[in-house]
Amino acid sequence: MHLHTLKSGLNQAAGWLFYVSLLMLLALALPRSVFDPESRDYLLLIGAVGIWRYSMGAVHFVRGMLFLYVVFPHYRRKVAKLGTDTDPSQVFLLVTSFRIDALTTAQVYRSVIREAIECGYPTNVVCSIVELSDELLVKNLWAQMQPPAHVTLSFVRIPGTGKRDGLAYGFRAISRQMPAADAVVAVIDGDTVLGEGVVRKTVPWFKLFPNVGGLTTNEFCEVRGGYVMSEWHKLRFAQRHLNMCSMALSKRVLTMTGRMSVFRAAVVTDPAFIADVESDHLEHWRLGRFQFLTGDDKSSWYSLMRLGYDTFYVPDAAINTVEHPPEKSFIKASRKLMFRWYGNNLRQNARALRLGVKRLGGFTSLVLFDQRVSMWTSLLGLSVAIIASIKYGFGFLLAYLLWIGLTRLVLSLLLSVSGHHIGPAYPLILYYNQIVGALVKIYVFFRLDQQSWTRQNTKLDRGLVSFQRWFNTWSSRAMTFSAASIFVAALMVLV
């Protein structure tokens, strides 16, 4: 174990040394005028186009650190003083499982049953499953672990029609038990292994904050894939952690993560909430009406906002997810996952903004607006550098690459302050996410009706007539081309 740790540490050090060496070589290749503040080629001018993006990132970082190291510890001390007054009358652990390998399923349910036993509250484990094999596996684990009488087990057998149906069936099963007003429901995905004490760390907040309707937790991951895929996922969770902390400062966390979120029982038994999760849809001016296939975490968040609840984040309660990349190729897998994630964001964005500043708050409204413009601002620096290098000389592109290398190194180091591991591949992956992510966002923004699950390999079939399909396809292409053309033309005039 120690030898493995030492080897891993040496590999990390070698990776960082290689990255810094590349930056130094790039700096040596540039003319001195690039580093002269009196020169019009001064390096920082290349980054001036990113002022908006960097300022938003800086605000998120400051807010996140303030919440993580000042505000949340204060809240935690208040919870400790209240003691057993924050205990719920009952806890439900709803697990949805579909097409997940038996080894992962066993890990997940073992952790869930362990938490049900160790939390000490009257707990009902509700298994929303499709296959009989999962039911037999859970019953076998239950017999092995021998939970006490206050821990019970329920099964909800559902058709394999998607996670939304699985959640709705589970919510209705819980509703039939008529839980008390102070009962709490944790919704857990079938590939989520609960960390030690996660139930006891999450349930007190509903008593401390009477208007919090749902909260989510910190995430770490085990990736069944190569090094780059693993680092890409870990980077995503580090960024997620920082952004969640920032939004939690306003009690406006922007998603009730599907991997694990916790709700008041009054929320998940509300017919309006169940309907939002089960059959959420969008009326689009061009694409028509379509159901949401993915994005149940965004639907649950929007429903909470619409119903008047706050949302929260608990950074010291951790879960571990088992990630199965949808493709062996990193490029293909990351693009597929981005298409799903960003599509979920953009489908909720416009109607969330329509809730208004009074409901969302000023900063939350600003963040939602930034989600709409970031797909273009993220491409601004690279586009300007390419146009300037063609018109004035290749040095502009080299200077831009040096700027990107330095700023992404700083951003990676800042992420380490959040408590998540960082690796030497992070600066490059950060830039990959910025450029490829922006391109995927632009593509999906004009094709909001296109959705697919990565694990289940199912797609939304709207049953459209041939003309409507043709119109949707070609109008999406025309709008993408027009928007990209206007963007490039504006930049050429600017440069």
User: CB of 292 within 8 A of CB of 162?
Assistant: no
Per this entry, what is the length of the chain?
495
User: CB of 116 within 8 A of CB of 125?
Assistant: yes
Tokens of 178: 């008529």
**Per-domain boundaries in the chain:** 19-54+371-494, 71-354
User: ∠ at Cα 216 (231, 377), nearest 5°?
Assistant: 55
Q: Is 379 exposed, middle or buried (0-12, 13-18, 19+ CB in 10 A)?
A: buried
Task: Please identify every stretch of the chain with a pLDDT value under 50, giving residue numbers as ranges.
Answer: 42-46
CATH number assigned to the domain covering 71-354: 3.90.550.10
Would you state the pLDDT for residue 161? Answer: 75
For residue 99, what is the DSSP state? S
Identify any residues that bridge with 205 across adjacent strands, giving them in sequence order. Answer: none
Would you state the pLDDT for residue 42? Answer: 46
Q: Which residues, including other chains, have CB under 8 Å from residue 261's CB and lie 6 or more apart?
A: 186, 187, 214, 215, 216, 217, 297, 300
Conformational region of residue 413, where left means phi above 0, alpha means psi within -120 to 50, and beta covers everything else: alpha
What is the pTM (predicted TM-score) of this model?
Answer: 0.89
Would you state the pLDDT for residue 82? Answer: 93
Residue 318: half-sphere exposure toward Cβ, Cα within 13 Å? 11
